[in-house]
């Protein structure tokens, strides 16, 4: 399957999954409230830490190596790769599960800073086990270019998750905040059972009993897997530890500034559980692009074609600009009204403009990081990620500790770290394949068009409100108008690709 076709399929799936996930989050926040959402957002970074300790490195290794072996026609070696990655994951998970099971109480009290997180912490363990098995098999399909099985599974998974979590909450609420978070994580376990079992069966069916190819020596394969998995896993671990530390720190710093525990957790839940996910809706396109980009770049690297790598990275950056910049501009204007209407929280949408810029920058950072992983430059991606995570943690800590700053410190830390991340990743990619920037195509044309669209919508929106139109209908009218204006501006600059006669 071609890179374009794979990207289109995964983009459609990601957009659907993001839409389902967003609707699910809206209903979830209405059912449990901002305090439980804050406690849930406190627990979820721990899941990312667990995945970094156990699965993240193996999933990238599986995608990268299976892509290379399929490009060389060695399906047997690809099957060996999957087995090696599964075994490595299970051994890592056994160690992590034992430690967490023994020390869940001190972890929840002293590390997370809230004893009510213990139940959710323990229920994360089966969720991580199933998610790791799912992701390894899923990334085998991505590496082999067969995106349909994981795409269909992803759609079903999102629907099952929403149904399971909301159904459990509907049946058993009201509960204490601790038990409410436990019900949410339990619903996640239900959907992961389906995904892990389905993808494992689909993988066995696709591989068959006797894969073609000569295979590869097990020791050599283990070294190759370790060479990819260890730096990515450790980098992901340190980055997620910094992210988890930031999540734990935010409500604590708010309490230190004078808010009570409930108010701090509510503010944290609104910011990270409602506002940021709403502004991150367009990033579904980028996540799909990254899933395709890593194995495709690994393939072109294995074949010794740097010019193909340059072309693929350039197309990814161009698509990022064309899609993300207008979305960020429009959400910066319309986000506050739409967020308040959807979540019924008055503070949803605070800092929408700077957060939209931060989300756009994270998209460039993610595309360039995926490019480095696909090119085999995992060490560079690791170094850059750690530097940016440390910068965000330090800036957030320092700024939130100053009087009157509050959540603005988190926003400033996000912006500074993402600007730095884009620059570091770009420098590494450029050095690796000699990529030259196309300033007009990547930045100037889509940036000017997005700016024009955002400014015009900023004028139109209050005019529609003053004329008597309600907030949500006015926002939808402005959204359609802004998209049309954006593409008109691109056409006027000659920035859209034209069909050849």
Distances (CA, A) of 299 to 10, 11, 145, 218, 302: 19, 21, 11, 21, 5
DSSP secondary structure string, 205-254?
HHH-SS-SS----HHHHHHHHHHHHHHHHHHHHHHHHHHHHHHHHHHHHH
Torsion-angle region of 344 (φ positive above 0: left; ψ -120 to 50: alpha; else: beta): left
pLDDT at 499: 47
Helix or strand (DSSP H, E) at 106: helix 75-106
The burial class, CB within 10 Å (0-12 / 13-18 / 19+), for 480 is exposed
Tokens of 456: 């015009």
Q: Are 57 and 228 in contact (CB under 8 A)?
A: yes
pLDDT at 416: 92
**Distance between CA atoms of residues 6 and 33, nearest Å:** 38
Q: Are 301 and 374 in contact (CB under 8 A)?
A: yes
Query: Would you say the C-alpha torsion 37, 409, 245, 325 has a positive or negative sign?
Result: positive
Tokens of 342: 């959807």
Helix (H/G/I), strand (E/B), else coil: 118: helix
Helix or strand (DSSP H, E) at 498: none
Maximum Cα–Cα distance for the chain, whole Å? 73
Helix or strand (DSSP H, E) at 412: helix 408-433
Rounded average pLDDT per 10-residue block, the chain, 501 residues: 61 74 80 78 81 87 82 80 91 91 83 78 90 90 79 86 90 82 89 90 79 73 84 76 72 68 68 75 74 76 78 86 87 79 73 86 88 81 83 84 76 90 90 84 86 88 83 82 88 66 37
**Distance between CA atoms of residues 1 and 6, nearest Å:** 6
Q: Are 345 and 279 in contact (CB under 8 A)?
A: no
The contacts of residue 227 (CB under 8 Å, 6+ apart) are none
Q: Are 489 and 448 in contact (CB under 8 A)?
A: yes
Q: Are 190 and 160 in contact (CB under 8 A)?
A: yes
DSSP secondary structure string, 165-184?
HHHHHHHH-S--HHHHHHHH
Nearest Cα to Cα of residue 345 among 353, 355, 336: 336
Nearest Cα to Cα of residue 321 among 216, 422, 179, 177: 422
pLDDT at 501: 37
DSSP secondary structure string, 464-480?
HHHTT--HHHHHHHHHH
pLDDT at 210: 59
């Amino acid at each position: 399957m071609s890179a374009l076709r794979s990207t289109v399929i995964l983009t459609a799936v990601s957009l659907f999954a993001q839409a389902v996930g967003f609707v699910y989050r809206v209903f979830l926040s209405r059912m449990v409230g901002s305090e439980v959402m804050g406690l849930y957002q406190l627990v979820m970074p721990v899941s990312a830490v667990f995945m970094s300790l156990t699965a993240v490195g193996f999933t990238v290794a599986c995608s990268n190596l299976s892509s290379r072996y399929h490009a060389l026609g060695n399906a047997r070696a690809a099957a060996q790769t999957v087995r090696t990655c599964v075994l490595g994951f299970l051994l890592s998970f056994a160690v992590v599960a034992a430690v967490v099971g023994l020390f869940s109480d001190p972890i929840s009290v002293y590390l997370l800073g809230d004893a009510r997180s213990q139940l959710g912490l323990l229920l994360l363990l089966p969720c991580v086990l199933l998610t790791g098995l799912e992701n390894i098999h899923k990334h085998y399909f991505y590496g082999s270019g067969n995106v349909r099985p994981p795409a269909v599974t992803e759609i079903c998974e999102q629907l099952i998750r929403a149904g399971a979590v909301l159904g459990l909450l509907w049946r058993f609420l009201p509960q204490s905040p601790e038990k409410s978070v436990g019900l949410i994580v339990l619903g996640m376990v239900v959907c992961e059972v389906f995904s892990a079992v389905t993808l494992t069966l689909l993988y066995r069916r696709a591989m068959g009993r006797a894969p073609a190819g000569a295979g590869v020596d097990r020791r050599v394969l283990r070294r190759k897997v370790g060479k990819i998995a260890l730096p990515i896993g450790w980098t992901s671990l340190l980055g997620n530890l910094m992210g988890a530390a930031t999540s734990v720190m935010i409500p604590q710093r708010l309490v230190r500034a004078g808010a009570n525990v409930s108010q701090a957790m509510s503010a944290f839940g609104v910011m990270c559980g409602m506002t940021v996910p709403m502004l991150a809706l367009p990033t579904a396109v980028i996540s799909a692009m990254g899933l395709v980009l890593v194995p495709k770049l690994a393939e072109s690297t294995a074949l010794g074609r740097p010019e193909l790598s340059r072309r693929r990275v350039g197309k990814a950056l161009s698509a990022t600009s064309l899609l993300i910049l207008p979305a960020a501009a429009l959400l910066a204007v319309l986000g506050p009204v739409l967020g308040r209407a959807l979540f019924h929280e008055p503070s949803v949408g605070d800092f929408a403009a700077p957060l939209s810029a931060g989300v756009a920058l994270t998209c460039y950072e993610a595309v360039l990081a995926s490019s480095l992983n696909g090119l085999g430059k995992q060490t560079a991606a690791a170094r850059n990620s750690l530097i940016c995570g440390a910068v965000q943690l330090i800036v957030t800590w320092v700024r939130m500790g100053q009087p009157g700053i509050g959540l603005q410190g988190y926003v400033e830390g996000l912006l500074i770290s993402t600007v730095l991340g884009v620059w570091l990743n770009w420098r590494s990619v450029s050095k690796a394949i000699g990529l030259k920037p196309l300033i007009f195509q990547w930045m100037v044309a889509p940036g000017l068009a997005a700016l024009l669209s955002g400014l015009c919508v900023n004028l139109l929106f209050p005019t529609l409100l003053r004329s008597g139109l309600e907030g949500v209908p006015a926002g939808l009218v402005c959204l359609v108008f802004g998209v049309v204006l954006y593409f008109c501006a691109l056409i006027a600059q000659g920035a859209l690709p034209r069909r050849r006669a």
